[in-house]
Amino acid sequence: MNKMTVNEIHSAVRPRRPFYQDLTFQVVAGMVLGVGVGALAPDIGKDLKPLGDIFIRLIQMVVGLIIFCTVTHGIASVRDLGKVARIAIKAMVYFEVVTSIALVIGLVTINVLKPGVGMHIDPAMLHTTAHTDAAPAAPTGVGAFLVNLVPSSALNAFAQGDILQILVFSVLFACGLASLGEKAQPVLTVVDTVQATLFWIIRMVMKIAPIAAFGAIAFTVAQFGLATLLPLGALVLEFLLTCVLFIGLVLAPICAFAGFNLLKLMRYFREELVLVLGTSSSESVFPQLTAKLTRLGVNESVVGMVLPTAYSFNHDGTCLYFAAVAVFLAQATGTALGWEQQLGLLAILLLTSKGGAGVSGSAIAVLTLTLAATKTIPVNSIALILGVHRILSAFFVFTNIAGNCVATVVVGRWEKAVDQAQLKQQLDAGYQPA
């Protein structure tokens, strides 16, 4: 997406509007009202679930096409396949290092705080038939994982919403266009027009984000109740602390080393970060992140390559979740898990955390797969955390989004593909919605 398109979508900084017109305030207000309705009128709260589901589906409806248009336009406009490969390699190295650090932090924190010790839960008393919205996990094993990267058909990849497969097809299509030179310009013009149309749809959909957050939170509180969340409060607080430690001890130094301030970056993306807290869906903010990262001064080719790939491979928060919850369940069920076994668990998580990446609601499914692979932690103990999974997912999706934004800017800096003056100006001013 070129800068002209971004400017059409997000116009220049405007004078501040009344606080109640700010989307951040509206989403927070919706969440607060949702908690009240869910707690005081649970029957009504349970019926509000479709509000959040409709919003997420509206976003999912166009995410695949936006990824295709962003990647295609970004790569084909560069017409330098060597540069594309260089960006991809740098991004993948960054992702693997940072997610590995996240897994280590998750394991260390849960072992130090031990929120599950003393629960003495008999897993035989738990039910495994509880409903979740988890999607089937992607195949594991290097061979199966590589095969699953390639769609059986391009249309099927879009129909299934498989980000990895869409990304593979988009890269190949874009490289084909790049090889055509000037002959590809008419196609690129069409892609750019389609992209602008999709972003108009997103702008309209975002107007109902506060209503979506209201419905999603109301359902969560009504379904599980405030009191039922208390026994697992220690896990929630431990995981919140883990996410804060990761952001402060890992992301903040990375940003400082790259020459920008993490807090200013998070302020710039505040609307998206608040929104994912309410919806627990990273897909709900992908289009906005794409536009705002480009406006921040990051070259469109970097945004087009790094951000979609980060959605599939750079799940920092999800790695924290897998490490923390797996060990918590071992503690809760009295399962002996020494450091040797935990290192084995870390190795398994390095693979399974990629296997479910980009699949909405897949965390429970991937966690099930991981516990089965350990052959030590009872798989049916997952029922213990179903009540607080929604809260935990809000934290880890928030961390994922923050990590993906940082990754895109950092890789852009490595490539010298960031307008430093524009980056500083935008971060100092803070993003002002049109």
Average pLDDT score over residue span 156-168: 78
Average pLDDT score over residue span 48-74: 79
Domains of the chain, earliest start first: 3-10+17-429 (1.10.3860.10)
Higher-confidence position of 9 and 304: 304
1-15, 78-92, 175-189, 361-375 — most confident range: 175-189
How far is C-alpha 332 from the chain's CA centre? 28
Phi, psi of 416 (to 5 degrees): 55, 40
pTM: 0.69
Compute the C-alpha angle 285/431/299, nearest 5°.
Answer: 70
Residue 308: which residues within 8 A CB-CB, separation 6 or more?
67, 70, 71, 163, 166, 167, 170
Distance CA 153, CA 166 (A): 10
231 — pLDDT class (breaks 50, 70, 90): low
Pick from 309, 287, 70: nearest CA to 168:
309
Report the percent of the chain where pLDDT is more than 70. 79
Higher-confidence position of 366 and 52: 52
7 — pLDDT class (breaks 50, 70, 90): very low
For 103-115, the pLDDT digits (tens) are 999 999 999 998 8
For 279-297, the pLDDT digits (tens) are 777 777 888 898 899 999 9
Distance CA 403, CA 406 (A): 5
9 — pLDDT class (breaks 50, 70, 90): very low
Q: Is the pLDDT of residue 423 over 50?
A: yes
DSSP string computed for 347-378: HHHHHHHHHTTT-TT-HHHHHHHHHHHHTSS-
For 394-414, the pLDDT digits (tens) are 899 999 999 999 999 999 999
What is the predicted pLDDT for the residue at 246?
96
* Token reading at 254: 């990375």
Pick from 194, 73, 95: nearest CA to 400:
95
Pick from 223, 267, 243: nearest CA to 390:
223
Are 34 and 214 a contacting pair, CB within 8 Å? yes
386 — pLDDT class (breaks 50, 70, 90): low
What is the predicted pLDDT for the residue at 367?
76
What is the predicted pLDDT for the residue at 256?
94
DSSP string computed for 74-98: HHHHH--HHHHHHHHHHHHHHHHHH
Element (H, E) at 184: none
Rounded to the nearest integer, the mean pLDDT of the chain is: 79
Element (H, E) at 404: helix 386-414
What is the predicted pLDDT for the residue at 75?
72
Higher-confidence position of 290 and 349: 290
Higher-confidence position of 47 and 162: 47
For 255-267, the pLDDT digits (tens) are 999 999 999 999 9
* Token reading at 61: 């409806």
16-20, 33-37, 279-283, 375-379 — most confident range: 33-37
Q: Is the pLDDT of residue 38 over 60?
A: yes
Residue with tokens 């109902």: 208
Q: Is the pLDDT of residue 353 over 70?
A: no
Identify the DSSP state of 418: B
Q: Is the pLDDT of residue 4 over 60?
A: no
How far is C-alpha 42 from the chain's CA centre? 29
Q: Which amino acid is at 46?
A: K
What is the predicted pLDDT for the residue at 129?
42
Q: Is the pLDDT of residue 141 over 60?
A: no
Within 10 angstroms of residue 422's Cβ, the number of other Cβ atoms is 14
For 88-139, the pLDDT digits (tens) are 888 889 998 999 999 999 999 999 998 887 776 666 655 444 444 444 444 4
